Structure 1
Amino acid sequence: MSQAPDAGPGPEQPVSPQEPVGREEPVGLEGPVEAAEVARLIDFERADAVSLMIYPPPPPMLVVSGQKPWANMEVTLNPRRYVQQPEYWGIEVIGTMPEIGQPAIVPYVVELDLTGLLGTKGVEVIGASHTERIDIPAAQAQD
């Protein structure tokens, strides 16, 4: 039995990367879908838990700074989710890129209110190449 020449690629014939497979444009329920943004861990240079010196003290804020590799990259601090309170609550430094990037190394500073996001000992800031644990005394952690 022979296979017809126009039957398409079989298991022995992989699809060439140049040949389009399926639709060329993703389609959602209401029409074409825009290209997705790309988010990934990025590095940071400094991370501090800052608390105002007033009474009663408000919950501390996490302030993270560094250099982002793209001028239009949006940097956010995303806390991890836990079933029970860990020793150090993990908070990821995430850089989100739009479809078109503007390559330029520029500084960034982001902050996050730590209300409800403290581990029993503090927080752990998680970047692309390293992490940093910050101890937060119980007196600072109280609301």
Structure 2
Amino acid sequence: MDPSLLTAELVPFHAGQPESEWAPLLAGKAEPAARAWSEPTAWEGEASLGGPPMAATTLGEILIAEFTVHAWDTAVATGQPITVPASLAKATFGVYTREAPRMRGSGLLGDEVPQEAHAPLLDRALALSGRDPRWSPPTPGKRTLPTV
């Protein structure tokens, strides 16, 4: 495992770096992370990404769920379509059902967004993670006035 990840800093790989450098730094960590988590031994024992150690299986599941919602964030913010397989939506919903209260208590997630019980699983997972599944970026040049 990358020793720079074994610190108390939640996102140690970009600590002290200008925000303009975060994307290239993250991109440089993506392939090694995918390679590391592809190894069966990565899912054994305990692991940490700066917080307290937890079961490696739990951390791996959280990472998969986080990658899923951040992929949704990026796709929606840039007007790109995103298709999440049903099995991934189900896994992501399961992770946030289990982990969202703890993550929210640690300040890692926003407040849950109300969602219908029969909504698609991905929408429910997004809502648990503090995202509004109906959100879309503002239309350039269109001014949205607050409702009173």
TM-score computed with the length of structure 1 as normaliser: 0.22
TM-score computed with the length of structure 2 as normaliser: 0.22
Query: Comparing both structures, which one devotes a greater share of its residues to helix?
Result: 2
Decide which structure has the larger Cα Rg and report it: 1
